[in-house]
Amino acid sequence: MNQAHVRRVHAVAVVVCSMILASCSGQPEKEGQGSVEREPQDGPSMASIRAEDVKDAQPGNEPRAAYGNRSPYEVFGKKYYLLDSSAGYSQRGIASWYGTKFHGRRTSSGEPYDMHLATAAHKTLPLPTYAEVTNLGNGRRVIVKINDRGPFKDDRLIDLSYGAALRLDMIGTGTAKVEVRAIDTSGMQVVATRIESGTYLQVGAYSERSGAESVADRLADANLSPVSIDDSSELYRVWLGPYLTNVDIDRAIKRTIELGFERPHKVIR
């Protein structure tokens, strides 16, 4: 066999091996063979939400969260020391955003993450901190409630909820240069204001009663009550309530999101 023929055989063997390896690398590992559960990809909300639908967080004089305020804490081998206070904090840096992958999960402060609200994650500010975030590229602003820790990547300053990023028009770019300015809430009070009587939360609407009953049972099992099914229209609508204060409404919304449902909306009956 001459050298030219040997080189051709070797080249063919390399191509065949490469094809086999490529084929193997594209196949998921079977269960029981050392497979690792892969995290879902992060992304934007599937709901029809616009920038104007996302309201500014409402600053209030809240006590520090029971969770997420330990100092120092360690992530990926690096220690982070919390600021004693958010007073006077103003910083410029890179903002990123997070969405569906974390929707419904608990934040560092213990609150469920709702990607449709104006919230954020920060490495060293006390939880919670309210801050005004300005996109320095287009001048757009949003007030967020910082209730989570992060982002622990590169030199990023803040990680915004999908809703907050939508307000700043930075969904497409993924990151933006921003200014973060803490809001002084020391003179503010949190008031449990009463709301219009007959205010309910609609968790879902279903064409079949069995679907509505299944959801209602899940809510009842999670101690979310009162729960009812409204059948006054063509759909079977699952309602929670009625509620008397915004505090009760907010608690029910947070618990519903923790259970994996989309954010329920108010219904006046």
User: What structural domains does the chain harbor?
Assistant: 51-182 (2.40.40.10), 194-268 (3.30.70.1070)
Pair 83, 127: CB distance under 8 Å: no
Give the pLDDT confidence score for residue 225 in this predicted structure: 80
Give the pLDDT confidence score for residue 104 in this predicted structure: 79
Give the pLDDT confidence score for residue 46 in this predicted structure: 62
Phi, psi of 155 (to 5 degrees): -110, 30
pTM assigned to the model: 0.60
DSSP state of 48: -
Give the pLDDT confidence score for residue 196 in this predicted structure: 63
Pair 71, 82: CB distance under 8 Å: yes
Cα→Cα distances 58→54, 226, 233, 269, Å: 12, 27, 35, 26
pLDDT tens-digit map of 179-229:
999 999 988 876 555 566 678 999 999 999 999 999 999 999 888 888 999
| pLDDT averaged over 10-residue windows placed end to end, the chain, 269 residues | 43 38 31 35 72 92 88 94 96 94 85 90 96 98 96 92 96 96 86 66 93 93 89 91 82 88 86
